[in-house]
Amino acid sequence: MAIRRKEHALVTKSNDLVEARYDLTLTEQRVILYMVSMIEPNDEDFKTYRITVSEFVKIIGIDDKSAYNQIRQVTENLISNILRIYQPETNSYLSVAWLSSSKYFAGDGYVELRFDPGLKPYLLGMKQRFTSYTLAAVARLNSVYSIRIYELLKQYQKIGVRTFT
């Protein structure tokens, strides 16, 4: 799987997920977006997503030597990092982790990651209330805030109006 090809892959999230509350580092955000771009439009369930260390280095733009330590740290953080998604139909918040599992194959140079099943309605089978953009559109952004603002603006691109308070 070539990174160049993956940059043109689509990132598609429900609008509720775009507006969710979470705190990720830039590296963690890039890994999540890369994983989301690996989801196929017809997927009915999450797969185990494999990211090689060489892909990881290209995704986050780090030195090869520190990649092995960083990939382990980032994937462990994503298992414990909780996001809160507002559910307007029940006026409630869902708290869920990004990943349900992470398996690091040190000798083989790759990691296998799996999204938490609680994220299924926000990443799979969406017919309405979702936002899509290419991975390349945010690949060069150097701040989690610029990525978040891009997503929020992209969400309302067709409407033309978005008010922030």
Within 13 A of 104's CA, how many CA atoms are on the CB side? Answer: 13
Gap between the Cα atoms of 39 and 49, Å rounded:
9
Domain boundaries, the chain: 3-155
Beta partners for 95?
84
Collect all residues with Cβ–Cβ distance below 8 Å to 69 and sequence separation of at least 6: none
For residue 42, what are its two tokens? Answer: 């017809």
**What are 69-116's pLDDT values in tens digits?**
788 888 899 999 999 999 988 999 999 999 999 998 888 888 999 999
Domain 3-155 = CATH 1.20.120.530: no
The pLDDT assigned to 119 comes to: 97
The pLDDT assigned to 1 comes to: 32
Looking at per-residue pLDDT, the higher value among 147 and 62 belongs to: 147
**What are 20-68's pLDDT values in tens digits?**
999 999 989 999 999 999 999 899 999 999 988 888 777 766 666 777 7
Burial class (CB in 10 A: 0-12, 13-18, 19+), 142: exposed
Nearest one of 152, 158, 149, 122 to 32, comparing CA atoms: 122
Looking at per-residue pLDDT, the higher value among 62 and 144 belongs to: 144
